[in-house]
Amino acid sequence: MELSHISPNLTVAPDGSAVTDDGLVVKHVLQAERINTTNEARVNAQFVSWQICRLVRRDFNYVVTKSFHKGAGKAKVRAREQLRDLMTDIRLQAEFFLDDVTCFPINLEPNVRVVPLRLFSDFVGGLLRSMMIADKAYGRLNYAFEQGQVSEENYNAYSRNFEMSWSAIKAFLNNGQSDQSAQELGAAQGIA
Q: Where are the domains of the chain?
A: 10-177
- Alpha-carbon distance 124 to 177, whole Å? 22
- Alpha-carbon distance 133 to 191, whole Å? 35
The answer to whether the beta carbons of residues 70 and 173 sit under 8 Å apart is yes
pTM for this entry: 0.83
Burial class (CB in 10 A: 0-12, 13-18, 19+), 47: buried
Predicted local confidence at residue 53, as pLDDT: 97
Q: Over range 102-120, report the average pLDDT.
A: 94
- Alpha-carbon distance 107 to 144, whole Å? 9
pLDDT above 80: residue 74: no
- For residue 47, the SS3 value is strand
The answer to whether the beta carbons of residues 140 and 50 sit under 8 Å apart is no
SS (H, E, C) 101-129: HCCCCCCCCCCCEEEEEEECCHHHHHHHH
CA distances from 55 to 11, 18, 140, 147 (A): 20, 15, 17, 24
- Alpha-carbon distance 183 to 4, whole Å? 40
pLDDT above 70: residue 32: yes
Q: Over range 108-118, report the average pLDDT.
A: 93
* Lowest-pLDDT choice from 2-6, 20-24, 100-104, 183-187: 2-6
List beta partners, residue 45. Answer: 115
Closest CA to 98 of 63, 70, 51, 135: 135
List beta partners, residue 19. Answer: 11, 25
